[in-house]
Amino acid sequence: PASPCAPRKTRYAPSSRSSAQKKKITASPAIIKVQSGSGDLDRLPKEIRQLIYSYCLDAEDPVLLKQCCGPNSTRRERASCRKHGDGCMKIGKGNGLTLYDEDLEGSSKTYGRFNVLSLSRAINEEASWLLYTRGSVLIESTTALQAYLSDTQCTFYRLPSHATEHAKRMWLSVARFRNVCFELPWWKGSIDDPVECVYRLYEASAFLMKAWSMLPEKPTLSPVVTVQLNALYTSIIPFNADSSFKMAYEWTAYWQPHLASNYLADFELIGETTGEIVERLLDLVGRHGGSSQWNLIAEAPDQQDDQDDGSAAQADGENGGVAPLRSLEKCCALNGVAFATTA
């Protein structure tokens, strides 16, 4: 009999099959290729890849602010939105963009321009650099912009803080663009209060400069900001109300139900307040602008007389915006802002 201290014999000897299964399986070369770069795009030169990214991102068209369902909208409003709602056919995951949408001309336009950023990390780095460096963002002074601003009044000495996390993320994204354009829509001057529209531009400029200081990685190129005032100084409201009594009466009748029954618009005071806010914007740029380049563009009124005081132009009742425009030009020169006029 076998000794009790002797080791027991194994019942089955280890087979070659089990040893073969324990060998390390090499990874697929296709997976290694995708993880290491941009896939088949690595075979192309960098210049060709940038052309492809520019076509996919529509880099020539500016990125617009969402006008429909903003951060302050309810869940039902976001779900029923025609462009970003639950009933829309979407491309990708979480991009919130519909597949097709008919524009004013009736042709179908494909959305999902930023889907190329979610393909891989390498593509995201190259395409993001192209988007933020060569692309641009356009922010119009509409009621949709108010959702990303603060209810408190902005001060001259200190830049405001973002009210919500949605507004903070939005302005940080805008701050990464090298080309930013603030625009006062031409059709807003005849409907909305010009003081509110211009003050939105003032607040938006302050939040943009605040976001520049919060960026973890500072851009190597100086950002270029363009403030487009369009026909602020040539439209009837607020500087040329005397030239069209009918237009001034219609504007007063529009705002009368919203304010008071005995509301009477003081267009002289509205014009002075509007000009002061624009000059405050320029003073804010001169104080907190840093190395950024600012351009201000406005439509110039038809000037019949070249007098410095502009008294003859105001006497005709048609060129009331000449004197405020000249004061704006002097303020731009004092704060290092490039000033240009269009016909």
pLDDT band at 237 (very low <50, low <70, confident <90, very high): confident
Cis peptide before 238 (omega within 30 of 0): yes
* Cβ-proximal residues to 140 (8 Å cutoff; 6+ apart), any chain: 64, 65, 183, 184, 185
- Is 138 a residue whose pLDDT tops 80? yes
Q: pTM for the complete prediction?
A: 0.73
Q: State the DSSP H helix or E strand holding residue 314, giving kind and residue range, or none if neither.
A: helix 311-315
- For the chain, percent of residues with pLDDT exceeding 90: 23
What's the one-letter identity of residue 272? Answer: E
pLDDT reported for residue 293: 94
168 — phi, psi (to 5°)?
A: -65, -45
Q: How many CA atoms lie within 13 A of 79 on its CB side?
A: 3
- Is 204 a residue whose pLDDT tops 80? yes
pLDDT reported for residue 323: 87
Q: Report d(CA 239, CA 233) in Å as an integer.
A: 6
Sheet order of strands, 224-230 included? 63-64, 136-140, 179-183, 224-230, 293-299, 338-342
- Is 105 a residue whose pLDDT tops 50? no
**Dihedral sign, Cα of residue 269, residue 143, residue 200, residue 187:** negative
Residue 87, token pair as written in the block: 């009933």
